[in-house]
């Protein structure tokens, strides 16, 4: 299915509603989910996406532990996408980002925060 980019600039605020936690791939063994591209553990963060007149909480997967992200903290989200899914009669939307960090955090090394071709 198609991956749909989400323009986070349309939101008035993005707040951490559920602190980061590692995603479990196998509940029986406790094995953690690993990102195929980076090899890093995948974390899930509950984010409250706020706009004028509405707010939605979505669970967003991100490779690696989002450093410094805590409950109630405004955050920056990079490369947020939504992917519709269906499996055995169940369906939903999975959200993923390349990075989640505190809004007050200094820019990453290089010009990544200015959209330097990534």
Instruction: Please name the residue that has the structure tokens 């986070």.
Output: 8
Residue 113 falls inside a structural domain: no
Span 92-115, average pLDDT:
72
Q: Is residue 67 part of a domain?
A: yes
Whether 88 is covered by a domain: the verdict is: yes
pLDDT band at 104 (very low <50, low <70, confident <90, very high): confident
User: Considering the domain boundaries, does residue 111 fall inside one?
Assistant: no
Domain that holds residue 71: 4-104
Owner of token pair 């094995």: 31
Task: Domain count for the chain, please give it.
Answer: 1
> In this predicted model, what pLDDT tens digit does every residue of 21-56 receive, in sequence order?
999 999 999 999 999 999 999 999 999 999 999 999
Residue 110 lies in a domain: no
| Tens digit of each residue's pLDDT (9 = 90 or more) over 68-101 | 999 999 999 999 999 999 999 999 999 999 999 9
Q: What is the pLDDT of residue 118?
A: 38
- Distance in angstroms (rounded) separating the CA atoms of residues 5 and 11: 14
| Pairwise CA distance, residues 34 & 24, whole Å | 9
- For residue 37, being part of any structural domain is answered with yes
Higher pLDDT, 7 or 114: 7
User: What CATH number is given to the structural domain containing 80?
Assistant: 2.40.50.140
Using the predicted structure, report yes or no on whether residue 117 has a pLDDT greater than 80. Answer: no
**Predicted local distance difference test score (pLDDT) of residue 2:** 85
Left (φ > 0), alpha (ψ -120 to 50) or beta: where does 32 sit? beta
Report field, pTM of the whole predicted structure over 0.75: yes
Domain assignment present for 115? no
The count of residues in the chain is 118
pLDDT at position 105, please?
A: 54
CB 16, CB 72: distance < 8 Å: yes
Q: What is the mean pLDDT of the chain?
A: 88
Q: Is 40 contained in some domain?
A: yes
């Amino acid at each position: 299915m198609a991956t749909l980019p989400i323009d986070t600039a349309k939101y008035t605020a993005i707040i951490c509603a559920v602190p980061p936690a590692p995603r479990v791939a196998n509940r029986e063994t406790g094995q953690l989910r690993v990102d195929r591209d980076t090899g890093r553990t995948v974390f899930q963060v509950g984010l409250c996406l706020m706009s004028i007149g509405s707010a939605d909480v979505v669970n967003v997967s991100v490779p690696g532990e989002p450093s410094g992200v805590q409950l109630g903290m405004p955050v920056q989200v990079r490369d947020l996408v939504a992917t519709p899914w269906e499996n055995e009669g169940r369906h939903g939307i999975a959200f993923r980002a390349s990075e989640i960090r505190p809004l007050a955090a200094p820019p990453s090394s290089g010009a990544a925060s200015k959209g330097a071709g990534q």
